[in-house]
Structure 1
Amino acid sequence: MSGHHPLRSVLKVGSNTMVSRLLGFARDVILARLFGAGEMADAFFVAFRVPNLFRRLFGEGAFSQSFIPVLGEYRATRPASEVRAFVADVAGWLALALAIVTIVGMLGASAVVYAIAPGFADNPDKFHLTVELLRITFPYLFFISLVALAGGVLNTYGHFTVPAFTPVFLNLSIIAAAVFWAPHLQQPAIAVAWGVLIGGVAQLLFQLPALRRVGHLHWPRLRRRDPGVRQLLRLMGPAAFGASVAQINLFLNTILASLVGANVVSYLYYSDRLVEFPLGVFGVALGTVVLPLLSRQAAERSPRFPQTLDWALRLTWLIGLPATVGLLILAQPLLISLFRYGAYTAEDARQSALSLTGYGLGILPIIAARVLAPAFYAHQNTRTPVRFAMISVAVNMGISLILAWPLQQLGLALATSTAALVNALMLWRRLRHDGIFQAQPGWRVFLLKTGGLALLMGIVLLYLRGTRPSGCRCHSGNGCYGCSAW
């Protein structure tokens, strides 16, 4: 196939996401300097994680996976007036559901914190701070899920730049709150929590002009007879169930992190931020472009569907393999270089490097799943990926319970990566079995070339990591990166 058009789209999404991720790194450096890996950091990260977990259900999770294929079908087969009516109806019902969940979440913040981080209850100050922060951040769910709706519309119409650039406003808002407001408060985390909420509002406002340009800036409405809404709900049923199972797994990891040791929540957060760089820049870019492209090809019954999937898998390997090698070898140096300021200590970096190593092993399968699952969604099959997600979540839960106490953050990260591998392998086997994925010629040579280059890259990085700067007298065995005085 000619991969020029989708590749340009991937590069466009990736470049804009890169800007957001770089600002995200700046944000996390500032938060590490402000909070370190202590009680305030744990409280904020849990309060920030909760609306993000729900966002994966109402935003880019079950909703987007079901909405984009239906919208693509409507656009290909229905008049523009019916497409506009469908989008308005979906916006109305989604906004109503989000409003209810947000209100319930704010009122029940104490119960939510106790459920997701029961270990915090042993420290009343930490527990109450987390509850207060969660009441501020929970409305972020409302705005960011509507952002996902707008982004789905824009991506379906081939407009990738605005949705990819939108997260920049969240990072700018958090940075501004941390730098200019937080130093003046007794609890700096409160200012950062408000920065999260303001960032959610800013992201939604930024997308409105783009929606107007594609003709889909509508007042939400609650019409119950739209067949597209019924079709969307039918697809969302299994997808929402699967996403809920996945969220249960994430809740379990947070629960275990709050129980197995001090500051484990923070160690996992900082390492996750580095893993999210290749996942966010490349994995999300691929998934963002591939889903509407495959949905259109499926609706048109195009013979190029298997070729598009093969191209996306090759790009996954080409990007994911060196990213994995780099993170595994440079885990601790990267953490020290990025976060070793202010309250974030050398020991924090060493502990975070353990979980970064575990998470790094999951880069390839996670990106692969984000390419393989859209092949099912494009055919409006949400049941199969959900079934596989449930199996992988069970694997994650089992391994987490076994490894959490002896290995703490490393065990939890390894469980996540192992479950991702199981999920990707099941998706790949089923697509081959159903004849949806057909490997194109040249895979063997491609794997040999990329594998050899990755090996060479790893050898060079190992050599450079062991090189000590001039005048270094450190004898830690890990170069100057292992020095507590770094």
Structure 2
Amino acid sequence: MSRMLRSGAIVSAMTMISRVLGLARDAIIFHFFPAGGALDAFFVAFRIPNLLRRMVAEGAFSLAFIPVLAEYKESKSQEDLQKLLNHVAGTLTLVLFIITIIGMIAAPLLAIIFAPGFLFGDEANVKDSSQADLTAHLLLITFPYIFFIALSAFVSAILNTFQKFAVPAFTPVLLNVALISSVIWWAPHFEQPVEALAWGVIIGGILQLAFQLPTLIKLGLMPKPSFKRGHEGVKRIMKLMVPALLGSSVAQINILINTAIASMLAVGSISWLYASDRFVELPLAIIGVAIGIVILPKLSGDHINAKGKAFSQTLDWGIRLGLLIALPAMLGLMLLAKPILATVLANGVNDWTLVEMASMSLMTYSFGLPAFILVKVLAPGFYSRQDTKTPVKIGIFSMASNIVLSALIVYPWYQSGILGPHAGLALATALSGYINAGLLFYQLRKQQIYQPQQAFKKVWVKDFLRIAVGLIAMAVIVTYFNPAESWWQAAGLGSKALTLLGLVFAAMASYFGTLFILGVRKNTIMM
């Protein structure tokens, strides 16, 4: 467990660098671009290929590829391993090329499908075709991103399987650098400045792929793309990918559904949801994604070597560590929603309206953070065993739940004129996340895949009580020291940044300090 903790720390540290720079990127974007029609158009144009990347490359492909690759690594010769990499590289490149061409040709249709509100509004929310045209134009530029970033995810999966976690975790930094450069230096040279962001996306994808290749070459695993019809390993990966595509795509499909619905709400709703989603993504990546990346190869190895007890211990560790950090992160985001948004986003062309609106969805998104993290921890329990059907069934039910919940929550809010119906979309996503996580846990226990150790059960009861006390202490401290809302509106950027950092430090110190006083130690986390 100590090795996994070190690996997780490496991934989290690299991811932290990337996410902090990502927040800087978003701060710069919102400093120069008002939350409105043009920025909404870019976020839709970026979200579609980016979500395809999460669904196909980092989702279904990685979940299907890593267990098979781990098996070849453990039980096959180096020659067989290299042939697998060669044939997967050839097949993946061809499929990605076809998808990219189709996506570029279909850009105008995709813009209408995923943002119908850009064309169709009502008297209170008038739309015109120019926003849909701009979205289609930007999507034409951004769609090839899926080609480069999917190949980058292929390389990342290889490096992660061979315990080289730092380089793949660091690569997203390059996308942030490209986008920041596009805003500061390139945007003034475009007739439509937001177009510079689209070109920044493409450049960022190329940089992420190129950055990882030297490490792959050093390992002696650089693929030479080739094709062999019926290759055993490729067939297994493709067979696993089909259900994994649905199972790993639930959250992404939910986001696309939310985007489509948000396009029918007030102008700026997509930008408000994007802003709040970004802050939930930070702890989700640092905690959930990092743990998932680390435990998937370990779980695959435990399953291959028939180590049932070690398999359950790995999941024990992931669940305990995930919740230990996820719960205070959730509370912190809910308590500090306005201070965070006021500090990071409301310092340029955007005013307090952005903070007010985005804080609503940030608080409701944050409510689902523990569930989102548990999904990242629990799903590898199935994928490591090459069982993709169970997560698919659960995922489809969760996705349907999100649609139903969105209708039950958002439509009444919209009809009644309640301020911020976009926050209802975030709440529906959070609730469907708990449904997803709950069903994954239930099936792991029902199928006796996950059998918690007796020591884990006893320690977890104590830890839950300790965490509850820590959360109370944290809430008291943050509420007491948090300045009034009027102060956050009037203060300068430097004062807000220092105060926010102080509040975050106080929150962490009160929470972890309380846990320490109550007896939680590093060795208890690792047991």
TM-score tier after normalising by the smaller chain length: over 0.9
Q: CA deviation at 1:445?
A: 0.6
For residue 124 of structure 1, the aligned residue among 122, 129, 152 is: 129
Partner Cα distance (1:362, 1:163) in 2: 27
- Determine whether 1:334 maps to 2:347: no
Instruction: Give the corresponding residue for 1:10.
Output: 8
Instruction: Give the corresponding residue for 2:465.
Output: 448
Q: CA deviation at 1:247?
A: 4.5
Q: CA deviation at 1:463?
A: 1.2
For 1:151, what is the secondary structure of its paired residue?
helix
Partner Cα distance (1:400, 1:92) in 2: 41
Partner Cα distance (2:214, 2:60) in 1: 26
- Determine whether 1:464 maps to 2:481: yes
Give the length in aligned residue pairs.
474
Partner Cα distance (1:250, 1:168) in 2: 23
Partner Cα distance (1:243, 1:348) in 2: 31
For 1:259, what is the secondary structure of its paired residue?
coil
TM alignment of 1:357-436, pairs within 5 A: 357-405=363-411, 406=413, 408-436=421-449
For 1:36-71, what per-residue CA distance to the aligned partner results, in whole angstroms no more than 9, with x for missing partners? 211111011001001012112221111111110111
Partner Cα distance (1:337, 1:92) in 2: 46
Q: CA deviation at 1:185?
A: 2.0
For residue 185 of structure 2, the aligned residue among 167, 180, 201 is: 180
TM-score, length of structure 1 as denominator length? 0.95
Percent identical across equivalent pairs?
43
For residue 148 of structure 1, the aligned residue among 148, 153, 164 is: 153
Q: Judge which range, 399-408 or 339-348, deviates more.
A: 399-408
Name structure 2 gaps, 5 residues minimum: 120-126, 414-419, 494-527
Q: Judge which range, 244-253 or 305-314, deviates more.
A: 244-253
Partner Cα distance (2:294, 2:217) in 1: 21
- Determine whether 1:110 maps to 2:116: no
Instruction: Give the corresponding residue for 1:473.
Output: none
Q: CA deviation at 1:297?
A: 1.3
For residue 63 of structure 1, the aligned residue among 61, 64, 67 is: 61
Q: CA deviation at 1:87?
A: 1.1
- What amino acid is the match of 2:89? A
- CA-based RMSD: 1.5
For residue 42 of structure 2, the aligned residue among 21, 41, 44 is: 44
Q: CA deviation at 1:216?
A: 1.5
- What amino acid is the match of 1:88? N
- Shift of the 482–403 alpha-carbon distance from structure 1 to 2, 3 Å rule, reads farther
- Determine whether 1:322 maps to 2:328: yes
Instruction: Give the corresponding residue for 1:19.
Output: 17
- Determine whether 1:215 maps to 2:227: no
- Determine whether 1:265 maps to 2:270: yes
Instruction: Give the corresponding residue for 1:474.
Output: none
Partner Cα distance (1:244, 1:321) in 2: 24
- What amino acid is the match of 2:397? I
For residue 241 of structure 1, the aligned residue among 231, 241, 246 is: 246
For residue 189 of structure 1, the aligned residue among 188, 194, 212 is: 194
- What amino acid is the match of 2:364? G
Q: CA deviation at 1:20?
A: 0.5
CA contact (8 A) 1:246 1:390 kept: no
For residue 87 of structure 1, the aligned residue among 85, 91, 108 is: 85
For 1:157-191, what per-residue CA distance to the aligned partner results, in whole angstroms no more than 9, with x for missing partners? 01100000010100001111111111232211111
Q: CA deviation at 1:482?
A: 6.0
- What amino acid is the match of 1:347? T
- Shift of the 61–140 alpha-carbon distance from structure 1 to 2, 3 Å rule, reads same
Partner Cα distance (2:249, 2:298) in 1: 26
- What amino acid is the match of 1:123? D
Instruction: Give the corresponding residue for 2:521.
Output: none
For 1:188, what is the secondary structure of its paired residue?
coil
CA contact (8 A) 2:59 2:249 kept: no
- What amino acid is the match of 1:451? A
- Shift of the 246–443 alpha-carbon distance from structure 1 to 2, 3 Å rule, reads closer
Q: CA deviation at 1:250?
A: 2.7
Instruction: Give the corresponding residue for 2:502.
Output: none
CA contact (8 A) 1:346 1:485 kept: no
Partner Cα distance (2:319, 2:249) in 1: 27
